[in-house]
Structure 1
Amino acid sequence: MSAEVLITSMEKLCKLHESLYDLAVKKTDIMKIGDMDTLNQLLIDEQTHIAAIDRMKKECQNASRILTPHIDQPTVSDCMDYLTTTEQEKIKEVTNELVQLVLSLKEQNNLNQQLIHNSLQFVNVSLSLLRPQPEEINYGPPTKIKKSSNINTQGMFSSKA
């Protein structure tokens, strides 16, 4: 019974990751367009997916604990000894699919991160071009002393007098 729960929860986990990947692809397109309202809604949807993924992960952990009660933090590999060969094959298949989805999601998120970084650089360059550069403020003596033509450059004391 626990094996079926584990397989079912892992399949749901795959579907949630696939849906999250689709959202990440949509996010890339939305960032290219610059539609902030749609991007905000998409971020809310992502948070919902992430919360659902956390719930499914906990469900998978609970099912694996039931299969292997003597192990504190069992992994999928730990559960394999307690499954039939058909269940083992199904778990391997779902695990491989999940790994591929996570790698694809990671690549897409890296692309999105680069897009955000480039956008921020563009904004910073634009702002630096638009705002005036402040003059340097020094608290010491001025570096250039203006010499007036009225003052005798030899000094105030005249030896000829």
Structure 2
Amino acid sequence: MSAKQLIEVLENHVKLHKGLLELANKKTEVLKKGDTEALNGIVKEEQKYIAAIGRVEQERIRVVHAMIGETDEPTLTACILQTEGTERAMLEKLRDDLSAVLSELKNVNQLNEQLAKQSLQFVHVMLNMLMPQPKEVNYRKPNVAPSSYEGGSSLFDSKA
């Protein structure tokens, strides 16, 4: 296989990850606004990108194995070392571009995770304020010590 095929696959890889990064940035704004319908739409769109990235990744693995064979370690660096000239420069640029996009995507996803956790915490606090839990389920007269019968745990609740 030629380096041209690997270049095409990596270009597609970078393009898909940039699209995923755009969605992650949109998700940040949606999380800030609290728009759950828009969030659901973005998550569905992300699933499409993730599936496409999985297919491209399988293609990349196939091309790398075809390029360097089964004996060497199937990495992009090994492929770059086998190429020369403009193809080598293009592969290095694509590797750097993909690495930069992945790093930025990681940072945005960490921010989105923190925003989602904060939103959930806010919801829990609001629910606890609106619906406080009763302290005791059973009624008991105040300032009266429980008798040994009431305080003990019995399998049967009957009087003899």
Give the TM-score band, short-chain normalised: 0.7 to 0.9
Larger C-alpha radius of gyration, 1 or 2?
A: 1
- Residue 121 of structure 2 is matched in structure 1 by 121
- Residue 67 of structure 1 is matched in structure 2 by 67
Q: Is 1:50 aligned with 2:50?
A: yes
Q: Tell me the amino acid that sits aligned with residue 27 of structure 2.
A: K
**Aligned residues of 1:16 and 1:53 also touching (Cα < 8 A):** yes
Deviation digits for residues 18-46 of structure 1 (CA, Å, limit 9, x no counterpart): 01000000111112222222211111110
Q: For structure 2, list consecutive stretches of 5 or more residues without a partner in the other structure.
A: 146-160
Question: How many residue pairs end up in the alignment?
Answer: 144
Deviation digits for residues 76-117 of structure 1 (CA, Å, limit 9, x no counterpart): 111123212321111110000000000000000011001000
CA distance 1:58–1:73, shift in 2 (3 Å): farther
Alignment of 1:16-95 (within 5 A): 16-71=16-71, 74-95=74-95
- Residue 9 of structure 1 is matched in structure 2 by 9
**Percent of residue pairs bearing the same amino acid type:** 38
Counterpart CA distance in 1 for 2:90 and 2:5 is 12
Q: What is the RMSD of the two structures over their aligned residues, measured on CA atoms?
A: 2.1
Q: Give the TM-score of the pair, scaled to structure 1.
A: 0.81
**Aligned residues of 2:9 and 2:56 also touching (Cα < 8 A):** yes
Q: For structure 1, list consecutive stretches of 5 or more residues without a partner in the other structure.
A: 147-161
